[in-house]
């Protein structure tokens, strides 16, 4: 009977130790304020990956993003026939 009481006291002391050291650590960690991190989808390639190099036509573009960049930033482009701001509307590649 004495051994049973000793084992029960050891188990109780171990449980108290666990509650004090490990359970509170988890609560403190989860309640700590965290810095804002943007979602992974927000990380994109730089917008300045293209440069004006004299190209003017849709057939000279490699992507719709490139055509949009040229239309917005480069002079004398001939990619928006109806002047609605959407380049290469009839180009089936994009």
Residue 90: the pLDDT is 84
Tens digits of per-residue pLDDT, 13-64? 988 888 877 755 554 455 556 676 666 665 455 556 888 888 899 999 998 8
> What is the rounded CA–CA span in Å between residue 49 and residue 33?
36
CA dihedral 6, 9, 15, 21 (to 10 degrees): -100
23: which 2 tokens?
């359970």
For the chain, the first-to-last Cα distance in angstroms comes to: 83
Residues 61-92 have pLDDT tens digits of 998 889 999 998 998 899 888 888 888 888 88
What is the Cα–Cα distance from 21 to 29, expressed in whole angstroms?
13
Q: Two tokens at 3? A: 């051994």
Return the DSSP state at 94: -
């Amino acid at each position: 009977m004495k051994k049973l009481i000793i084992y029960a006291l050891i188990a109780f002391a171990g449980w108290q130790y666990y509650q004090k050291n490990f359970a509170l650590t988890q609560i403190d960690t989860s309640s700590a304020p965290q810095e804002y991190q943007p979602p992974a989808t927000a990380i994109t390639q730089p917008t300045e990956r293209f440069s004006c190099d004299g190209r003017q036509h849709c057939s000279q573009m490699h992507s719709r993003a490139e055509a949009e960049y040229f239309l917005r930033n480069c002079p004398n482009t001939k990619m928006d026939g109806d002047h609605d701001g959407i380049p290469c509307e009839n180009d089936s590649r994009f």
